[in-house]
Amino acid sequence: MLKFNQETGNYEMVREAVVIDPTAFSLEESADENGVGHLFITARGAEKNLEMSDYCVNEGDEVPYHYHEYGSEIFFVTRGSVDAVMGGKQIVVNPGDMILIRPFMPHGFEYRENGTVWHEIIQGMDLWEGLTGLDRIYENCPEKIEDDLFMRDYLKTEGRVDYLGYPYLEAETVSPEEMPGFCGKDMYYKSYQLPGIECRIKYPRWKMDNRKEVWEFIMDQGQTIAWDEPYFSHELMVVRSGSVKVEIEGYETQIAKTEDIIHIPDYARHRITVLESGTVLQDFNVQYDLFLMMEELDIARREGRLDDDLVLDCLNRYQCPVTEASGLICR
């Protein structure tokens, strides 16, 4: 994980944290001279999976209109609101909303409130390498930062192309549902009800380049989910409301509350226990076929065939790493 060092002016690697308060990092530990903070979780593996950056920004701050030639991004806001322009269309993004941005989709943002907390989850890019490249420019040829042609060539090598200006006057204001990739706070592709937990798929695999799924879970107090088998891919979850107890092998037990990020390392056995009814937990790295498994279990439930043996068989066939869920499975 990376944070901004005010003394050196660079981003530095810090010990991997498992429960992260993004507001504390942004405002207290990593704010730059303008009061704008950034927190980074570095990309993993050859596919540059699940890089994350967190911003705490102020009213009027902008991200220029641009696009990426490869990789995808999911943006969501937990505090404040953001004007987003994508493909010449404009909407307001509010807390709980998500936007999925695919390659070659031009996009830009302007933040509407001081203290807006904005998260970016990236697949297939390496933002950290881009930042270190900017550091090298500042160190070796700082005058080039003001050279528009040089910077456009540099951004091109990073797979990004910046347009000049911010196209508010040209952008058509539309309803959020008309914006490609938009998934509002209460929107989802499909929902499944299990004992003590509602499972909502926000972005199916076919929207995520067949690499993963994004899910939202609404859970009752006392609900426990455990992963007691080593799981090949790290977890990245966000508590949207409520709180959970997080127990990870080799780490101290921690409490994750509203807005906190839960970052679980590869192959770490862990358990999450819900402390408040109605807790909403979003998982941004479901790499097994949870959607297909839930479809099969739902059909079996409607046909009266759902039992422990079928559940365990599905878990094995779909390579689901969950080994315990209150009211459903315990093995």
Structural domain boundaries, residue 115: 2-183
Residue 298 has pLDDT above 80, yes or no: yes
Residue 305, Cβ density class (10 Å: 0-12 exposed, 13-18 middle, ≥19 buried): exposed
Answer yes or no: do 154 and 303 share one domain.
no
Answer yes or no: do 203 and 326 share one domain.
yes
Last residue of a domain, one of 156, 183, 210: 183
Distance CA 23, CA 260 (A): 9
Residue 13 has pLDDT above 80, yes or no: no
pLDDT band at 166 (very low <50, low <70, confident <90, very high): low
Q: State the average pLDDT for the chain.
A: 83
At 262-281, the pLDDT tens digits run: 988 888 889 999 999 999 99
Instruction: Please tell me the predicted confidence (pLDDT) of residue 31.
Output: 44
Distance CA 49, CA 149 (A): 31
Q: Which residues contact 204 (CB under 8 A, 6 or more apart)?
A: 189, 213, 291
Answer yes or no: do 28 and 174 share one domain.
yes
- How far CA 176 is from CA of 85, 93, 100, in Å, comes to 11, 8, 12
Answer yes or no: do 196 and 178 share one domain.
no
Distance CA 174, CA 158 (A): 31
Q: Which residues contact 64 (CB under 8 A, 6 or more apart)?
A: 108, 162, 163, 165, 166
Distance CA 307, CA 287 (A): 25
Q: Please report, for the domain that includes residue 10, its CATH number.
A: 2.60.120.10
Distance CA 115, CA 81 (A): 10
Residue 29 has pLDDT above 50, yes or no: no
Last residue of a domain, one of 183, 215, 237: 183
Answer yes or no: do 134 and 196 share one domain.
no
Answer yes or no: do 170 and 265 share one domain.
no
Last residue of a domain, one of 162, 183, 204: 183
Instruction: Please tell me the predicted confidence (pLDDT) of residue 2.
Output: 55
Please give the structure tokens belonging to residue 294.
């839930």
pLDDT band at 24 (very low <50, low <70, confident <90, very high): low
Answer yes or no: do 176 and 231 share one domain.
no
Identify the H or E element spanning 149. helix 148-157
Answer yes or no: do 170 and 212 share one domain.
no
At 135-163, the pLDDT tens digits run: 788 889 989 888 888 887 887 776 667 66
Q: What is the percent of the chain with per-residue pLDDT over 90, rounded to a whole number?
A: 33
Distance CA 58, CA 260 (A): 20
Nearest-CA neighbor of 224 among 293, 270, 290?
Answer: 270
Higher pLDDT among residues 257 and 53, named by residue: 257
Residue 26 has pLDDT above 50, yes or no: no
Contact call for residues 30 and 19 (beta carbons, < 8 A) = no
Answer yes or no: do 37 and 105 share one domain.
yes
Answer yes or no: do 87 and 175 share one domain.
yes
pLDDT band at 35 (very low <50, low <70, confident <90, very high): very low
Residue 40 has pLDDT above 60, yes or no: yes
Answer yes or no: do 163 and 307 share one domain.
no
Please give the model's pTM, rounded to 2 decimal places.
0.85
Instruction: Please tell me the predicted confidence (pLDDT) of residue 1.
Output: 54
Count of domains forming the chain: 2
Please give the structure tokens belonging to residue 130.
């881009």
Higher pLDDT among residues 308 and 290, named by residue: 290
Please give the structure tokens belonging to residue 55.
């911003």
Answer yes or no: do 205 and 173 share one domain.
no
Higher pLDDT among residues 207 and 228, named by residue: 207
Residue 28 has pLDDT above 50, yes or no: no
Count helices and strands in the chain by DSSP H and E runs: 5, 27
